[in-house]
């Protein structure tokens, strides 16, 4: 079966939407947001930043390896790599990423109840100056792991 880039991109966006889920950039500045975050939100944010850094550095397979089990059950490692390449490659390298919000949730559409933090980043890429990345870490066995990712 032959799959074109548009089908792969659409599949990626559908999968990650169901999971309220260039490398010169540095860690996002969180100083202005940090005072309002509790310890678990800070831990979730740290997990999200580390996970995004893997993708930013082309380590997409490793991002899948470190994702939450709900994520890895929903998409195969190879499908994830293909989808991320199809979506991120046209955007070019990362220019900047700044934390916009981090909101605790215990329930998300299409996902099991649990402890989540929905984090939004204002992100700029070489070929897309304004984007919003939404990364949703969930607490799994006392560890925060990414359960969802979406770019718009």
- Condensed to tens digits (0 to 9), the pLDDT of residues 30-55 reads 445 655 788 999 999 999 999 999 99
Question: What local confidence, expressed as pLDDT, does residue 89 receive?
Answer: 94
- Condensed to tens digits (0 to 9), the pLDDT of residues 68-119 reads 999 999 999 999 999 999 999 999 999 999 999 999 999 999 899 999 999 9
- For residue 22, pLDDT over 60 is answered with no
Q: How confident is the model at residue 139 (pLDDT cuts 50, 70, 90)?
A: very high
Question: What local confidence, expressed as pLDDT, does residue 34 receive?
Answer: 57
Question: What local confidence, expressed as pLDDT, does residue 110 receive?
Answer: 87
- Do 29 and 97 contact (CB within 8 A), yes or no? no
Average pLDDT over residues 108-132: 96
Question: What local confidence, expressed as pLDDT, does residue 106 receive?
Answer: 96
Q: Collapsing DSSP states into helix, strand and coil, what is residue 31? A: coil
Confidence (pTM): 0.79
Distance, in Å, from the CA atom of 50 to the CA atom of 55, rounded to the nearest integer, reads: 9
Alpha-carbon separation of residue 67 from 20, 31, 73, 138 (angstroms): 13, 26, 10, 9
Distance, in Å, from the CA atom of 102 to the CA atom of 99, rounded to the nearest integer, reads: 8
């Amino acid at each position: 079966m032959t799959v074109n880039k548009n089908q792969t991109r659409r599949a990626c966006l559908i999968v990650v939407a169901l999971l309220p889920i260039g490398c010169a950039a540095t860690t996002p500045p969180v100083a202005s947001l940090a005072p309002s975050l509790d310890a678990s939100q800070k831990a979730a944010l740290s997990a999200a930043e580390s996970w995004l850094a893997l993708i930013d550095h082309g380590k997409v397979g490793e991002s899948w390896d470190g994702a939450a089990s709900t994520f890895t059950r929903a998409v195969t490692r190879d499908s994830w790599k293909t989808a991320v390449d199809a979506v991120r490659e046209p955007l070019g390298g990362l220019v900047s990423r700044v934390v916009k919000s981090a909101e605790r949730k215990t329930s998300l559409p299409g996902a099991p109840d649990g402890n989540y933090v929905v984090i939004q980043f204002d992100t700029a890429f070489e070929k897309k100056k304004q984007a919003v990345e939404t990364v949703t870490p969930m607490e799994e066995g006392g560890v925060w792991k990414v359960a969802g990712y979406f770019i718009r």
